[in-house]
Every structure is written in structure tokens, then in C-alpha cells.
Structure 1
Amino acid sequence: MSTLQSSSCSSAILEHLEENGPHQECKDVCISSLPKEKSQLSLYDGYWIPTWSMPGVLAFQKYFQARETDILLVTPPKAGTTWFKAILFALVNRMRYLDLQEHPLLTNISHALVPLLDVDIYNKKKVPDLNSFASPRLFATHLPFDLLPTSVKGSSCKIVYVCRNPKDNFVSLWHFMNRVYSTTNSLEEDFDKFCRGVSLYGPYWDHVLSYWKPIIEKQAQKILFLKYEEMKEQPTTHLKRIAEFLECPFSPEEDAKGTINDILQLCSFDNLSNLDVNKSGKWRFPEHNNTLFRQGIDHASFFRKGNSGDWVNYFTPQMTERLDHIIEEKFHGTGLKF
């Protein structure tokens, strides 16, 4: 199917939603006719979206009404999502949970506290009521900027975008997918797909550039663009930067009593990965339309190493050269470097 046909099909799906409601589109032949990769990914408006999540993506696009005070965390999958969900939740709610010994992050995986709008909320049987979420509402998504709802693009809600060195991002995603789906996909085969742009919510470079271009176009007041590696290297500096962007800066009193260090310690990889809830729990949603999410994903699957540079233990010189060439080509002239 050509790009034009895929775009026309996308429009037809949205028109179908207008007439038949949020989940009737599951039966629409247009979704099944989207280009697919082994029936697991569907090419939707230029991006490879998990086929099972398409109903949620379409309902999210159609029905989500952003508020000016909303905060949206966006990442490519396995770019530090679990970590940054914890950081943002602790940061935004720091006045609600002053006693760190009873903090929700100690008994809940961060995915339960900061839900993915298109996966956890809208991929159910009816349009959800989001009024119960405390303001500012904190949500997440893996969708590229191009696929965000019009209400998000047109509002002043804040978007925190986090990306990761594509080499580490690929290795982390490869491990995660094999662990969650109990498969042994070849590293070389999946690497070839990644380089061709066939990856979750990819092409990876298109996803990153979809949030980088608005920065170039002077929308910095709406989008904060962060790199996983920078947060690892200078966590205090960047936590302060996030707080200022979200208009909840740390006060001199908080600085004096070490609130920043408390948040960073609470949300550190070592602390989160060793909590009982993250070692033995399961992340499941009984109403979800995907069998994997109904049965549950081990919380431990979301924690591997949390390091930077692990890709050197997996890439051959030929793989490094190939991806370096693609990165140079895709990001040339953008001012963005990895």
C-alpha cells in the first residue's frame, strides 16, 4: 500500500469513529488493511504502531481533551520511560507526599501511576472519565508528535520528551521484547529492521525529529527535549531544569533540606529495581484487548541495567558503521547529535 493510500485509510478510520464510537473501529476493514510487519506492527501515517494498540491510538486521537495544565511524558519505548515516569510523578506530587516512607512509588510501579493514554486508558471498551485525575494531570504516550491529538497540539499543556542514544535504545528494546514475549528473536534480524525503520513507534529518527523540529520552530515553551544520557550524567541539573519547565521550581527551603537528592534517590535505578513491587509484581489490565496485558507483564521486565553504552557489548564493527551512517544521514543539519 502506498503512503497516499495509507493516509487515505487513516482518514477513513477517523471518519468511521465519528459515526460509530470509540471501539467499533476494531471491526473496520481499514485497520486490517494497513501495511503490517508480521501482523504485529501496522504502518499508520508513516509510523509502525503495534496492531493491537490501534483502537486505543484512534480513540485517544479522537476523544482526548487536553487541559492547559496537563503534563505529557513522551518517549520512544525503552528510552528511560519507567525511570522518567517515577521522576515526574515524584516531582509534581512532592508536596502531596512529604513522607517518603509512605510514597506511592514504594508500592506501585511507575506505569500504574503515570498511565499511557493510548495503551492503558483508551484501549478499553468505552471512553474513560479522566476527571478523577488530580491537577496537574500527568500522562504518558509513545506516540510521535505527528500522531498526538489535535487538542494536545493546540493547547499549552507541557510535553517532556526523552530520547536515548539509538544504539542503547535498540539493545534495551531487543532485550525487553524477547523477555516479555518469551521469544529469541535474532539480534541481527531485529537490528536490520531497526535500521530500515521498522520498530515500535518508529522509524526511531522520525520519532525523535517529530519533537525536535518544534524546538527549532521556537516552541520551546511547550516541549522540553531531554536525553537519557544527560540525565544520567547530571541528574541534579536536569531535575531542576524539568521543575522550572513545569513551573514548579524548587524553593530555597527545598534546596536547603535536600529535596532534590531525596527525589533522585527515591527514583534511582538501584532503589526502584530492588523494591518488592518491582521485583515480583505483574502489570496487567483485565479490560485490555491484548492478551499479554490481560495476563500481565512481570514488573521486573522493565528493569535491566539502566546503564549507558551497553551497546558496545552487542554491536559488531559492521553494525556500528551501518547505524552511525544512518544517524549521520537522518540528523544531518538538524543540530541534534548523539
Structure 2
Amino acid sequence: METPLILPTDKQVELDEGYQKTHKNFDELLPTLPTRKGWWMHQLFQYQGFWLSAFGIRGIMLVHDHFKPRPTDIIVATSPKCGTTWLKALVFSIINRDSYDFSDHPLSKASHQDLMILLELHIHGSGSTSLVDGLASPRVISTHIPYSLFPERMTEGSSPCRFVYLCRDPKDVLVSKWHFSNKVRPEELPPLTLDEAFESFCQGVSHEGPFWDHVLGYWKASLESPEKVLFFKYEDVKKQPWGCVRKVAEFLGVPFSEEEENKGVVGEIVKLCSFEKMSSLDVNKRDTRNRERPVSNSDFFRKGEVRDWVNHLSPQMAEKLDQITEQKLQGTGLSFH
């Protein structure tokens, strides 16, 4: 099941009346939304309970109005800085394991951004769903969109979409987001302090935040529809990557055969997608920023460790975040302890 490489394109599509209407609705809506200062962009907007960038809101509106799901669609979902790059690599390599040799694999030569599109970003960039519509099946698509903001045809009843979701201890998410924001903030802006990031995060004001609401949307969906939503915690994948790879393959309907197990295919995938392997690749060490892509491949790699927060957060900060998390997750069956 081969997914072709997705390359950046500057091709402009001629927008029909339906797309024009969506853009008009967006232009009218945006000035009416509450705003707060963004972490690496100038503004975040509160839209249906979440803090989103303008391009994220436009992308969501285009998805609602025009995206047509297919029975084979696979949606790889995360809140930002929860192991997105790792999850994308794992799912891509699992789905395409019959198409490529591990000794000459696309993940060794191409950026994860080229192998799997971010749904809302590419739809916003083209102004339409044409790029996504043109992808070969099975479409494996990445997103940061909260579960509740997808149209019902993607989440309810006989929806064909399957979601694989990865979350992470919010303390590590905060630290990772803070580091990332200071890598990609425009040079004219001063660095974001940890205190500023902490206060905003606790208030729920971060990209696709509140973080806890984003996680709970997918968690509850995974309990209600386990055949449609597979939910992982980053910490568990770090502990048992082989088991998680097998679980993803089974969930996606492509379990590993006895022959593949004997050949060590699961181990090859784990090794190929490891932080150590991916962060050492030339394609992920170069500064690849340009006008179309202001974020470099190297910006997505820092440590990939569990509990790195202990090197940055004070005991008081950690205690406050733990208290918020306990309150938000109370009675849900989910915890990060």
C-alpha cells in the first residue's frame, strides 16, 4: 500500500463558489473572535472552545465544508509537541512496509513533512481541498485538530476514518512547546520566557489548547469507539515501542504476519523511527527554512525524553500543573502518573 511522497507546491487553484463562500465566512468570523497573544505567531483566536491560529480555523472550516472522507483514510492526530514526528514516522512505515526496503527508506532521505501532510495547513495553503483530494489511497494524514472540531461525517456513525492519537505528560508538553516557540519565533520578537509560557499553558492558552480538552476529546472517543480511535501515551510508547507498533498495525487492519515477525520487521520499524536515528539524518539536521516553510526540519528534534520537565520546571510549577491535570481528568479513567 504505497503512499506517494507529498512535495511542496506553489500551484494556485481556481476557487469555485463553494470555496469562495467558505473564505468569505472565515473573513467575517475572524474579527469577532476573542484573541490572545500567541507563542510563536502574533495571535491565537478562541474558536469553539479552543485557541487556534487563523490558518487552523480556516483549515477547519474548509474541512467542514469540503473534505470528503474515504473508507481507507487514516488520521494521525496529536496536540502539538506530543511526539507528532515520531507517530507520523511509525504509522507511515507500518502502512508502507511492503513498498520500501529498510536499507533505502524514504524516512532516511525525506522530511516527515514531505511524507505526510498536515491537513489544516495544506488545505489552508491551497485555499481548497484539492491537494488532499488528489492523494492516492490509503490517505495517511496528520492533524492537530481537536476531535470535537471535525465534521460528524468523519467522527460519527458509520464514519470511515480511523484516528491514531498520541498524547504526553503536560509538563513535558509545556517544556517542549516553550523550546519550540523560541526556535521559530520571528527575530523581531523577544524570546518567550518560561514563566510566560507556564501561565498561558495553565490558562489553556496555547496552540490547540486547552491541552486537557484536546486530550479528553480523543480519549472519550477511544472509549466510545475503540474501532475508530486508537489512543496512546508517549510514555507508554517509549517503554514498549514494539508492542505499540503491533497494536497500530492491528488497528489499521494490517497486522504483522508470522513471517514478518520472524524476519524482525517490527524491530526494523522501531529502529528506523527512533529519535536517535531520525535526529541524526542529514535531512533533519539541516536548516531548511524558507518563505513557504518558516519552520526548519531540525526544529522538530530536541531530546525526545520522558520527564525532561524536571530540568526546567520548579517544584511549585510542577505541583500546579499536576493539580490542574488531576482536576481536568478526574473521573475520566485517564491519568499521567
Amino acid at match of 1:227: K
**TM-score, normalised on structure 1?**
0.87
Deviation at 1:148, TM superposition (A): 1.1
Helix, strand or coil at the partner of 1:94: coil
Deviations 1:248-290 (A, max 9, x none): 0000000001101111111111111111111115266xxxxxx
Deviation at 1:299, TM superposition (A): 0.8
Task: Report the counterpart of residue 32 of structure 1 in structure 2.
Answer: 31
Residue 306 (str. 1) matches residue 304 (str. 2):
yes
Deviation at 1:22, TM superposition (A): 4.0
Deviation at 1:55, TM superposition (A): 1.8
Q: Hey, what's the Cα distance between the residues in 1 that align with 2:298 and 2:131? A: 30
Unaligned runs of 5+ in 1: 1-16, 285-292
Deviations 1:94-124 (A, max 9, x none): 0111x22221111111122111110123432
Amino acid at match of 2:141: F
Q: Hey, what's the Cα distance between the residues in 1 that align with 2:108 and 2:163? A: 26
Amino acid at match of 1:110: H
Residue 100 (str. 1) matches residue 102 (str. 2):
yes
Task: Report the counterpart of residue 7 of structure 2 in structure 1.
Answer: none
Deviation at 1:60, TM superposition (A): 1.8
Number of aligned pairs? 311
Q: Hey, what's the Cα distance between the residues in 1 that align with 2:261 and 2:299? A: 34
Deviation at 1:323, TM superposition (A): 0.8
Counterpart among 317, 320, 325 of residue 315 in structure 2: 317
Task: Report the counterpart of residue 260 of structure 1 in structure 2.
Answer: 266
Deviation at 1:131, TM superposition (A): 4.5
Task: Report the counterpart of residue 228 of structure 2 in structure 1.
Answer: 222
Deviations 1:211-266 (A, max 9, x none): 111233x3111000000110000000111011111110000000001101111111
Residue 159 (str. 1) matches residue 163 (str. 2):
yes
Q: Hey, what's the Cα distance between the residues in 1 that align with 2:71 and 2:270? A: 27
**Alpha-carbon distance change, 331 to 85 in structure 1, aligned in 2, over 3 angstroms:** same
Answer whether contact 1:142 1:201 (CA < 8 A) is retained: yes
Unaligned runs of 5+ in 2: 1-16
Q: Hey, what's the Cα distance between the residues in 1 that align with 2:93 and 2:222? A: 26
Compare 304-313 and 314-323 and name the one that shifted more: 314-323
Amino acid at match of 1:282: T
Amino acid at match of 1:327: T
Answer whether contact 1:64 1:151 (CA < 8 A) is retained: no
Answer whether contact 2:62 2:128 (CA < 8 A) is retained: no
**Alpha-carbon distance change, 314 to 102 in structure 1, aligned in 2, over 3 angstroms:** same
Superposed CA RMSD: 1.8
Answer whether contact 2:109 2:283 (CA < 8 A) is retained: yes
Matches within 5 A, 1:1-338: 20-25=20-25, 28-38=27-37, 39-97=42-100, 99-154=101-156, 155-181=159-185, 182=187, 183-216=190-223, 218-282=224-288, 294-338=292-336
**Alpha-carbon distance change, 122 to 143 in structure 1, aligned in 2, over 3 angstroms:** same
Answer whether contact 1:194 1:203 (CA < 8 A) is retained: yes
- Higher relative contact order, chain-length normalized (CA < 8 Å, sep 6+): 2
Q: Hey, what's the Cα distance between the residues in 1 that align with 2:218 and 2:49? A: 15
Deviations 1:16-47 (A, max 9, x none): x9583343445x23212211113510000000
Q: Hey, what's the Cα distance between the residues in 1 that align with 2:270 and 2:19? A: 48
Q: Hey, what's the Cα distance between the residues in 1 that align with 2:259 and 2:212? A: 41
Percent of aligned pairs with the same amino acid = 43
Q: Hey, what's the Cα distance between the residues in 2 that align with 1:71 and 1:19? A: 24
Deviation at 1:209, TM superposition (A): 0.6
Answer whether contact 2:55 2:124 (CA < 8 A) is retained: no
